[in-house]
């Protein structure tokens, strides 16, 4: 089988449980690498440089754009967010499946540049549950929660652009399901070109 990893983009409404899900996926399975984005937004309490994000000034970020160091970038609520290229390429070559947790504009740009990318959209089972999770997380004021619920309405318009819809109801089930979907993706025939060529050559020699 071809050894190169798969580029996986995960998007979803704020509060859908993407962060929780990714953390568990990386804990439960070895073969994943999570890309760490660069951003111009300020760190939230508890966030660390190089763990949640690489925190940049606007000038530094624009230099990264100019030097083509980002696979994609987007503006989201007045800040830049982007995916550093070097880490992603290295991990893919090493055979890791690389997960980018990014919003929809970036997701579509990545798919356009790299059509083999797998796009996954994470949603809770109901809109009411989305609100419960945002409230339960306790990290935002009610005003911000309303903004995020409004933003979710817009983001829902893009759900059909994704290859897979992942319903995060029971967390454990969801992590297993996500892993098995990705395993299935490895068996798509177009991902095994080298194997196919090898088999054809061997058969010619028989």
Question: What residues make contact with ligand 5GP under the rule CB under 6 A?
Answer: 37, 41, 72, 74, 76, 81-83, 101-103, 105-106
Q: What is the rounded CA–CA span in Å between residue 38 and residue 84?
A: 7
36's CB contacts (< 8 A; 6+ apart) are 50, 51, 52, 53, 54, 84, 87
Q: How many residues bind ligand ADP (CB under 6 A)?
A: 13
Q: What is the rounded CA–CA span in Å between residue 168 and residue 89?
A: 29
Two tokens, residue 176 = 């297993």
Residue 168 contacts ligand ADP per CB under 6 A = yes
Two tokens, residue 165 = 């819809």
Element (H, E) at 79: strand 79-84
Query: Applying CB under 6 A, which of residues 5, 6, 8, 18 lies at the interface with ligand ADP?
Result: 18
Residue 24 contacts ligand ADP per CB under 6 A = no
Please report how close the Cβ of residue 59 comes to ligand 5GP at its closest, in angstroms: 18
Rank residues 43 and 95 by Cβ distance to ligand ADP and give the closer one.
Answer: 43
Please report how close the Cβ of residue 12 comes to ligand ADP at its closest, in angstroms: 5
Residue 131 contacts ligand ADP per CB under 6 A = no
Rank residues 137 and 191 by Cβ distance to ligand ADP and give the closer one.
Answer: 137
> What residues between 135 and 154 interact with ligand ADP by CB under 6 A?
136-137
- What 3-state DSSP class applies to 87? helix
Residue 12 contacts ligand ADP per CB under 6 A = yes
Q: What is the rounded CA–CA span in Å between residue 6 and residue 114?
A: 11
Q: Nearest residue by C-beta to ligand ADP?
A: 17
């Amino acid at each position: 089988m071809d050894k190169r990893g798969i580029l996986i983009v995960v998007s979803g409404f704020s509060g859908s449980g993407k962060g929780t899900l990714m953390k568990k996926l990386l804990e439960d399975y070895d073969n994943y690498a999570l890309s760490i984005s660069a951003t111009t937004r300020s760190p939230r309490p508890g966030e660390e440089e190089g763990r949640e994000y690489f925190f940049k000034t606007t000038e530094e970020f624009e230099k990264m754009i100019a030097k083509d160091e980002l696979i994609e970038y987007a503006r989201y609520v007045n800040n830049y967010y982007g995916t550093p290229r070097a880490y992603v390429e290295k991990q893919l070559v090493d055979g890791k499946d690389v997960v980018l947790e990014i919003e929809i504009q970036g997701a579509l740009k990545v798919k356009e540049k790299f059509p083999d990318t797998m796009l996954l959209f994470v949603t809770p089972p109901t809109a009411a549950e989305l609100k419960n999770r945002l409230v339960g997380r306790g990290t935002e004021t009610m005003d911000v929660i309303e903004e995020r619920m409004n933003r979710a309405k817009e983001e829902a318009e893009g759900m059909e652009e994704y290859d897979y819809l992942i319903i995060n109801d029971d967390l454990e089930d969801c992590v297993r399901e996500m892993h098995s979907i990705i395993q299935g993706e490895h068996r798509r025939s177009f991902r095994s070109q080298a194997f196919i060529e090898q088999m054809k050559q061997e058969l010619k020699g028989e």
